[in-house]
Structure 1
Amino acid sequence: MTGIIHPVSKSLDAKPRRTLDDRHMEKDQFVIGVDYGTDSVRSIIVNTNNGQEIASSVFYYPRWKEGLYCNPGENQFRQHPKDYIEGLESTILDCLRQAGPAAAAGIKAISVDTTGSTPVAVDETGTPLGLLPGFEDNPNALFVLWKDHTSVKEAAAINAHAKNFPVNYLQFVGGIYSSEWFWAKLLHILKEDTAVRKACYSWVEHCDWIPFLLTGGRKVSDMRRGVCSAGHKALWAEAFGGLPPDEFFSSLDPLLKGFTARLFTRTYTSDQAAGRLSAEWAQRLGLPESVIIGVGAFDAHMGAVGGQIEPYHLSKVMGTSTCDMLVAPAHEVEGRLVKGICGQVPGSVIPGMMGLEAGQSAFGDAYAWFRNILSWPLQQLLSQSSLISVETARALAAETTDRIIPELSRQAAAIPLSSQTELALDWFNGRRTPDASQLLKGAITGLSLGSDAPRIFRAIVESTCFGAKAIVDRFNEEGVPVKGLIGMGGVARKSPFIMQMMADIMDMPIRIHRSEQTCALGAAMFAATAAGVYDKVEDAMNAMGQGFDAEYHPDPAKAPVYAERFRRYRQLGQFIEENTTTSH
């Protein structure tokens, strides 16, 4: 039997489901949403009646913060499972302390979202190899973060190989397989490291492993894999009866022979339960074993739910990168395949609806890159000053660095709009969509001796907004109309300058969601649904959603200038793609 599993096994039902109408008849119940980001993990406790956040805690990954297991020059970004485990325990315990014993006693469920595709090699028990003796400090035995681009060759090989088959196994992921995804990363690790290859029994996404950990899983074959990660990154599709056949992978490289048999066939939507809290984790967290653990998903997908996504409204989670989510009634988009996006998967966002994903590989990362360039003297030279102490130098560097982007934004907003000012291309970490290619590079043109920091920053911001427009244009061109924009995440809430430019360039209003933790809140909504508090996640969205507190409207006078600059942005992108892409 194959396919998405929709009904929860009765053995996992916490209690009979209730509807939105009778939720007021019961006392307050609480759920925990856990959001694993690139730099940190955050947990929140939420009241299921009204979505009120009663506790929040964040944990910055210590090994990641030290730069361990990473080599930015080689686009290698790995994270240790101990960072994830320590952060999980620390944030939940901190939240429970804040909430008090009454709220802790009312915890019904925990759900988790993570970055992705962020997979790891595991043994037959589902244990990441990095937790086993001999592999503790081996980067290839750790989680391969979403932004790791070491597998560009393998992704290119998959794209070329797919053309040899009568069935297009890339049709549901936009027609192009990315180095950021599941199979490319697996093949790279197997080719790169003999010891890991011999010890690797299976390959697991971060969002599937955390629920497995919390439920005390002992066999990776029992892991409940989410349709979100499986469909968008691992080529799972109902049309294929599961994953592509072993022949597809083994003929690509013999190292992949037999892997499909050790992966999965069934997938589950995130409104379902992965199991109950294990005795070990119940003791560690001080929670009862009756707590339901929901099926995991990627951050942007749960974030779209936390941000109250609507059909045909592009939900933009804007952080280090962007993930853009769109949902549509499945019957309305049946037979349409949008080229060059990160996939379209039934039930990956809202069960019963088609979920379509796009995004940009660098968004906030592009601003941080420019900030780091400007702060180089502060970080490298100030501590050598003979005029101030080392402690003062560090404090001054930190204070000044924190003020760079706000001040750049203020001054950049005052620069008159012109069709001839500096122009940038936002592919500083490659291009995610439309048409994935991690070989592409960013660019800045039109520089002169008058090009100061605010002008260059403005061009970089503009380029990220142009990249967002390219995504909207692709959806519209492929017959899936974008009728509205919803902004979420740190950039959306913190930068009116960037959001106003986004509205002007898109020539569409953009609503900003009130919640500062839409991903964690979305996880909490799914937790409430998995526990039976609500019958469907749409009811949880209506009851627990926080609404919108800002809306940016486009300036019609700027539309023709931005249209001309966007035309030049596309020309620049074509030039860069034709003249600078090289095989690695």
Structure 2
Amino acid sequence: MTSYALGLDYGSDSVRALLVDALTGAEVATNVVYYPRWKKGLFCVPAKDQFRQHPLDYLESLTAVVQGLWATAPAGAASKIVGVSFDTTGSTPVAVDKDGVALALKPEFADNPNAMFVLWKDHTAIREAQEITAAANQASTNYLKYEGGIYSSEWYWAKALHVLRADEAVRKAAWYWVEHADWMSAVLTDTTHPEKLRMGRCATGHKVMWHESWNGYPPNAFFTSIDPLLDGLRDRLPAETFTSDQSAGALTAEWAEKLGLPVGIPVGFSAFDCHMGAVAANVKEGVLTKIMGTSTCDITVASYEAIGDKCIRGICGQVDGSVMPGLIGLEAGQSAFGDLYAWFRNLVNWPVQNLLQTSTLLDDNTREQLIRELEDKTLAALGNAASKLAPGATGITALDWVNGRRTPDADQTVSMAITGLKMGSHAPEIFRALVEATAFGARAIIERFKEEGVAIDSVVVIGGISKKSDFVMQVCADVWNCKIDVLESEQSCALGAAIFAATIGGVYPDVASAQKVMASPVSKSYLPNADAAVVYDRLYQNYLALGAYVNGDAK
């Protein structure tokens, strides 16, 4: 009898649903829905690093994406689904009240950005992150030692503290904050109330400072030493956490009706998108899985024996079971990858986006079509021209820190820089330097893992960029000087969620067994060019030197 698993992947811009035949691994149907409020740019102020998402975007899009899935799924597929699992971006927390209601769902907070989900890329909490890092370094126990030693403005506690300081109304109403990943599982199982809420290992371990050795979270005194506004917040969080191969509860009748699914099927504990994407990529020791999107998230795993008591410096955490049960999950990443390319596209298209809007030479429909066509073709055209340039030929060096630096050594205060520009420098030359910068930033992560004794022998990549640009992928292979495998699945993160859904649904006894059938095969591989790799070894030193200068620690 056919059994289906449903994986739901919440990205920065949209939610994707993937229906997978759990017995064969075949991807049967997929659907994508974009968040309506986010698409309009509501509640965001990019100039102030503010990026907020309304919970209704998540709820409405969930109904739309699953209901839309049935249009292309086999007849009767919904009744054969054995489990549902989610992945989301993170850290993306929201303030909830004493009844577990997300504040933005209440009329008095419906239009208040501080009552909404604070998206991963929101960097309004830089000051708070610095204070948390300083407090951890001064404490008798460094509570950041399992999170790379540096707390990020992209993470839970910094964001919560920033909102508490910034908004009195939210401060009075908030009981605690819940990560988007944990909220989705709780909503579908009616466990959002603080007395019922249970939280997944992934988000809590990597972003909320959970660790078994301190019975959950750092003590209340640690947080009050940073700001009394944090008093008691850690004690309201459930101390026990759960890996994603476990069920968070049964799908409620209300949500079963909304989604067209069987009542009572298990809903898994959610995890971050990159972690579940790594599971779809057959993550294992020695292999780095890199999810390439607007930013990147890099995931690998290590055995307990390999890690021992080592604490890896400057990464986004090492957490038991956050990726695969029985292994230590290691996370790193870049705050901008595709976002850097998009920034440059928007920069060079300023005349298109602005001057053509007022042109009287074209009718309205033709003008809009032309603008969209030029914007859609810009990056491909730049990449094609840049691919014809030899490594090192432009003399331009750039940093990838346009949205700060995630790893190694998180610092959202730094900015990108470009050096070597001349009067003769043209757009494809600059674009090539930006692509090289993102590859160099990724290499810095790989080098840090190796310096800390974590083996990285090859790289598997997931995400749109890996499928869209041979040029970008070849530059990465040359800069990293290693083989890169690209996964066949177009929805790898949702596929990882489906693997967990099949496990909690009882089709497989464990995640490893499900992977053997359901994980994505490799569609394409890139091998480094030996001559280019030699050149990039030298150019990488220029990247490091520029980074040191921007950091203010150059000699």
* Superposition TM-score, scaled by structure 1 size: 0.94
Cα pair 1:307 1:515 within 8 Å, conserved: no
Stretch deviating more after TM superposition (333-342 or 188-197): 333-342
Cα pair 1:484 1:510 within 8 Å, conserved: yes
Distance in 1, Cα, partners of 2:489 & 2:339: 22
Per-residue CA deviations over 1:316-350 (Å, capped at 9, x if unaligned) read: 00000000000111222111111000000010000
What aligned pairs does 1:326-405 form with structure 2 within 5 A after superposition? 326-405=300-379
Code of the residue aligned with 1:65 in structure 2: it is: K
Stretch deviating more after TM superposition (547-556 or 418-427): 418-427
Which residue in 2 is equivalent to 1:21? none
Distance in 2, Cα, partners of 1:160 & 1:382: 50
Which residue in 2 is equivalent to 1:463? 437
Which residue in 2 is equivalent to 1:11? none
Does residue 543 of structure 2 align to residue 577 of structure 1? no
Distance in 2, Cα, partners of 1:99 & 1:413: 40
Distance in 2, Cα, partners of 1:93 & 1:335: 47
Distance in 2, Cα, partners of 1:300 & 1:148: 18
Code of the residue aligned with 1:107 in structure 2: it is: I
Distance in 1, Cα, partners of 2:246 & 2:192: 20
Distance in 2, Cα, partners of 1:206 & 1:554: 38
Stretch deviating more after TM superposition (78-87 or 528-537): 528-537
Which residue in 1 is equivalent to 2:410? 436
Which residue in 2 is equivalent to 1:235? 209
Q: Aligned match of 1:155 in 111, 114, 129?
A: 129
Does residue 400 of structure 2 align to residue 426 of structure 1? yes
Distance in 2, Cα, partners of 1:327 & 1:121: 31
Which residue in 1 is equivalent to 2:537? 563
Report the CA distance between 1:101 and its aligned residue: 3.6
Code of the residue aligned with 1:529 in structure 2: it is: T
Distance in 1, Cα, partners of 2:256 & 2:72: 18
Secondary structure of 1:393's aligned partner: helix
What aligned pairs does 1:240-255 form with structure 2 within 5 A after superposition? 240-255=214-229
Which residue in 2 is equivalent to 1:512? 486
Distance in 1, Cα, partners of 2:276 & 2:167: 34
Does residue 10 of structure 2 align to residue 36 of structure 1? yes
Q: Aligned match of 2:95 in 121, 127, 134?
A: 121
Per-residue CA deviations over 1:18-42 (Å, capped at 9, x if unaligned) read: xxxxxxxxx1100110000001111
Q: Aligned match of 1:294 in 244, 268, 272?
A: 268
Which residue in 2 is equivalent to 1:103? 77
Q: Aligned match of 1:285 in 259, 264, 280?
A: 259
Distance in 2, Cα, partners of 1:49 & 1:319: 30
Report the CA distance between 1:414 and its aligned residue: 0.2
Distance in 1, Cα, partners of 2:454 & 2:393: 30
Which residue in 2 is equivalent to 1:498? 472
Distance in 1, Cα, partners of 2:425 & 2:187: 52
Which residue in 2 is equivalent to 1:45? 19
Distance in 2, Cα, partners of 1:260 & 1:111: 26
Q: Please list every run of 5 or more consecutive structure 2 residues that lacks an aligned counterpart in the other structure.
A: none
Report the CA distance between 1:579 and its aligned residue: 7.7
Q: Please list every run of 5 or more consecutive structure 1 residues that lacks an aligned counterpart in the other structure.
A: 1-26
Cα pair 2:191 2:198 within 8 Å, conserved: no
Distance in 2, Cα, partners of 1:322 & 1:452: 27
Cα pair 2:492 2:520 within 8 Å, conserved: no
Which residue in 2 is equivalent to 1:304? 278
Distance in 2, Cα, partners of 1:576 & 1:251: 32
Secondary structure of 1:485's aligned partner: strand
Structure 1 moving runs of 4+ over 6 Å: none
Report the CA distance between 1:202 and its aligned residue: 1.3
Report the CA distance between 1:96 and its aligned residue: 2.3
Which residue in 2 is equivalent to 1:205? 179
Which residue in 1 is equivalent to 2:248? 274
Does residue 62 of structure 2 align to residue 88 of structure 1? yes
Q: Aligned match of 2:118 in 144, 160, 164?
A: 144
Secondary structure of 2:90's aligned partner: coil
Distance in 1, Cα, partners of 2:426 & 2:132: 43
Does residue 510 of structure 2 align to residue 540 of structure 1? no
Per-residue CA deviations over 1:393-451 (Å, capped at 9, x if unaligned) read: 11100011100111111110001222662110000000000000000000111001111
Q: CA RMSD in A?
A: 1.1
Cα pair 1:419 1:565 within 8 Å, conserved: no
Which residue in 2 is equivalent to 1:175? 149
Code of the residue aligned with 1:528 in structure 2: it is: A
Distance in 2, Cα, partners of 1:577 & 1:156: 15
Distance in 1, Cα, partners of 2:326 & 2:179: 23
Report the CA distance between 1:98 and its aligned residue: 2.1
Distance verdict in 2 for CA 1:420–1:103, change over 3 Å:
closer
Distance in 1, Cα, partners of 2:550 & 2:196: 47
Secondary structure of 1:222's aligned partner: coil
Per-residue CA deviations over 1:139-194 (Å, capped at 9, x if unaligned) read: 00000000000000000111111122111100000000000000000000000000
Distance in 1, Cα, partners of 2:338 & 2:190: 36
Q: Aligned match of 1:194 in 168, 178, 200?
A: 168
Distance in 2, Cα, partners of 1:517 & 1:124: 36
Q: Between the two proteins, what is the percent identity of the paired residues? A: 50
Which residue in 2 is equivalent to 1:68? 42
Code of the residue aligned with 2:445 in structure 1: it is: I
Code of the residue aligned with 1:477 in structure 2: it is: E
Report the CA distance between 1:218 and its aligned residue: 4.8
Distance in 2, Cα, partners of 1:323 & 1:218: 28
Code of the residue aligned with 2:213 in structure 1: it is: A
Report the CA distance between 1:86 and its aligned residue: 0.7
Code of the residue aligned with 2:25 in structure 1: it is: G
Secondary structure of 1:571's aligned partner: helix
Per-residue CA deviations over 1:82-104 (Å, capped at 9, x if unaligned) read: 00001111011111232144211
Distance in 2, Cα, partners of 1:339 & 1:280: 45
Cα pair 2:320 2:327 within 8 Å, conserved: yes
Report the CA distance between 1:565 and its aligned residue: 0.5
Distance in 1, Cα, partners of 2:225 & 2:280: 42
Which residue in 2 is equivalent to 1:521? 495
Secondary structure of 1:98's aligned partner: coil
Q: Aligned match of 2:387 in 397, 413, 419?
A: 413
Distance in 2, Cα, partners of 1:319 & 1:372: 17
Report the CA distance between 1:286 and its aligned residue: 2.1
Does residue 140 of structure 2 align to residue 132 of structure 1? no
Code of the residue aligned with 1:59 in structure 2: it is: V
Report the CA distance between 1:133 and its aligned residue: 1.5
Code of the residue aligned with 1:335 in structure 2: it is: D
Code of the residue aligned with 1:247 in structure 2: it is: A
Q: Aligned match of 1:477 in 451, 459, 481?
A: 451
Stretch deviating more after TM superposition (101-110 or 37-46): 101-110
Code of the residue aligned with 1:279 in structure 2: it is: A
Secondary structure of 1:355's aligned partner: strand
Code of the residue aligned with 1:286 in structure 2: it is: G
Report the CA distance between 1:530 and its aligned residue: 1.2
Distance in 2, Cα, partners of 1:419 & 1:405: 20
Distance in 2, Cα, partners of 1:305 & 1:541: 7
Code of the residue aligned with 1:213 in structure 2: it is: V
Distance in 2, Cα, partners of 1:373 & 1:579: 30
Distance in 2, Cα, partners of 1:141 & 1:418: 48
Secondary structure of 1:158's aligned partner: helix
